[in-house]
């Protein structure tokens, strides 16, 4: 795998959201021209009731602007989510600390 510095996850269980996920991803990429995808993983999982589609983008570039944007668009009256919820939050951008040449 090519080295990466940012991971962006898009995930949904709603059929109407799955239908427009490609447009959401394309729009996000247009809004972040400094990040370039180097690899993509598509995962589907399901149980008796829900079908989850997840697209994980591995990107190269500077995540600092994206992280600043996330913080600046947060509502001033909103409380930060607890750490476990933030980690599972669909669409959250997390910088990656390189530990070699990427994922193994």
Q: What's the pLDDT tens digit per position in 43-78? A: 999 888 888 999 999 999 987 776 666 656 555 554
Is 59 contained in some domain? yes
Question: Which domain, by its residues, includes 18?
Answer: 6-64+87-95
Task: Quote the pTM value.
Answer: 0.63
Of 80 and 73, the one with more pLDDT: 73
State the number of CA atoms in the 13 A half-sphere of 84 facing the CB: 0
pLDDT for 76: 52
- Counted domains in the chain: 1
Is 75 contained in some domain? no
Is 76 contained in some domain? no
Is 41 contained in some domain? yes
Mean pLDDT for the stretch of residues 17-26: 94
Q: Give CA–CA dist 16/86, Å, rounded.
A: 24
Tokens describing residue 54: 């997840």
């Amino acid at each position: 795998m090519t080295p990466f510095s940012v991971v962006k996850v898009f995930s949904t269980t709603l059929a109407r959201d799955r239908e427009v996920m490609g447009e959401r991803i394309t729009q996000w990429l247009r809004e972040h021209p400094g990040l370039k995808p180097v690899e993509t993983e598509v995962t589907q999982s399901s149980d008796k009731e829900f079908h989850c589609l997840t697209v994980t983008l591995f990107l190269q570039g500077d995540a600092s602007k994206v992280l600043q944007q996330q913080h600046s668009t947060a509502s001033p009256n909103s409380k930060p989510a607890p750490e476990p919820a933030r980690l599972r939050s669909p669409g959250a951008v997390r910088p990656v600390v390189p530990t070699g040449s990427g994922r193994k």
